[in-house]
Structure 1
């Protein structure tokens, strides 16, 4: 495994590459508040692929947005598109978990020339808003932005203590929490704290509306594999009913486990991915 850094116009992205570097790039995009190492268990099962996993802006070891900026979902589409373009990659395959799958979905719709195949792990459709709630949405976002500078990150004695805290808020075991925590923390005077930007927790100032989401999904031209966890997020099961008819080419399968099934059930997940990408 090789550590990598990618310099974008406004910040740098950290990540790693594993596998034959001459093959088609399979770009791995993690979920909200996770990092590139969420794909470590999966990478051990997919050694034949040229995997490139990145920390999205504000996550893991990647840079944070400037002090006058915030984390808009659509800006991540720009980040990933710019990464692919600057790196000189041809069409890439994308494996996206949760929010990473949503980023990959929009990218595949708006920049079809960049995406060959798309794998969604416990991710289907996009998060939507309601037109009737836009006033409240913006108000809440402003209040969150006022509060962010006043908040302090929790501090832990060591990485193991931070991992226990991460596990307590998740549906996986300590070993899985430790994988995410080792890359997702940084040293501080009192011990360790999270490296993620506090602004990631701010409420979005706007959300896409259902007709916009439907249009985006219908505009995805490439083949799509959705791997849903049997005990994953309820919103993903609901999305299955709402959105699966929108995709032009959708394969849908289930694996056992929770929302991070690619970490807790890497063999099952890798088998489905291998069949889809290499068939």
Structure 2
């Protein structure tokens, strides 16, 4: 279904039958993905409402809008307004990669809305000015490549990144499903995401981690060394955070180890072990 939020038509989908007496888990996908990446992850759960949202520039949500609408603070506000329009006063929140940055932003900017937070392969952004500039230039270069090449050429380049090397051992059918999801995207939408919502331009949330009072779980794959280190650094800033390292998984844990991911996140959200 679609709903207009501040002039942007957002696509959302319930992956479970909605019941007002159950908590709702809002799921935010990563760059080049869509909400469908979570469609089968929690299909066996009967205790939560599962809501997936296509972020701006992705999937069935609008992409041909003013580029400033892609800014992270605008996106965070849109997601909160969307949930309010659906009658959700509060919700659990899950974000993967780019979606994790958005989820963290929502938690920091609208703390009264989020009851619990799960960040999969997430980052609070970059604190160092020089690192931000380097990343910004890198994202701008990638956006330029997007607009000057076909989506097929871009996806081939994107899939070859070391970040996704562990996905090459997945069954061919799953790899093809992910590839088709990426190929379905708008080049303009992806480019705007890089320009206005990339890690290099988003505000850093490192200093805000200590202000977060709700339970937070950081899920990372044991093969994703960079994000393991980020998770550990985040826990140093806010010791109450829980870190869960999933064996045999890389960056996209919910895709590579869906059963383990679902078990870990649901156990956390339902009050299971934290550490």
Give the TM bin, normalised by the shorter chain: 0.7 to 0.9
Distance 1:151 1:93, change over 3 A: same
Report the alpha carbon displacement of residue 229 of structure 1 after superposing the two structures with TM: 0.7
Structure with max Cα Rg: 1
**Unaligned ranges ≥5, structure 1:** 157-161, 187-193
TM-score under structure 2 normalisation?
0.79
> Hey, what's the Cα distance between the residues in 2 that align with 1:21 and 1:119?
21
1:178 matched to 2:176? The reply is yes
Q: 2:6 aligns with which of 5, 9, 13?
A: 9
The residue that corresponds to 1:206 in the other structure is 201
Which runs of structure 2 are paired with 1:1-279 in the superposition (5 Å)?
4-22=1-19, 23-69=22-68, 71-123=70-122, 125-132=123-130, 140=137, 147=144, 151-155=148-152, 168-169=160-161, 170=164, 171-172=166-167, 173=170, 174-186=172-184, 194-195=185-186, 197-199=189-191, 200-202=193-195, 204=198, 206-209=201-204, 213-232=205-224, 234-247=225-238, 249-256=240-247, 257-279=249-271
Report the alpha carbon displacement of residue 262 of structure 1 after superposing the two structures with TM: 0.7
Q: Deviations over 1:40-95 (max 9, x none)?
A: 33123435421011110001111115245363333322221222222220210011
Q: Deviations over 1:172-213 (max 9, x none)?
A: 133333333444444xxxxxxx3351423337573435xxx2
TM-score under structure 1 normalisation?
0.78
**Unaligned ranges ≥5, structure 2:** none
SS at match of 2:105: helix
Higher strand share: 1
> Hey, what's the Cα distance between the residues in 2 that align with 1:67 and 1:78?
16
> Hey, what's the Cα distance between the residues in 2 that align with 1:45 and 1:260?
20
> Hey, what's the Cα distance between the residues in 2 that align with 1:268 and 1:216?
29
Distance 1:247 1:8, change over 3 A: same
Distance 1:145 1:164, change over 3 A: closer
Residues 114 and 214 in structure 2, CA contact (< 8 A), matched pair in contact too: yes
Q: RMSD value over aligned CA atoms?
A: 3.2
Residues 32 and 190 in structure 2, CA contact (< 8 A), matched pair in contact too: no
Residues 29 and 54 in structure 1, CA contact (< 8 A), matched pair in contact too: yes
> Hey, what's the Cα distance between the residues in 1 that align with 2:143 and 2:97?
28
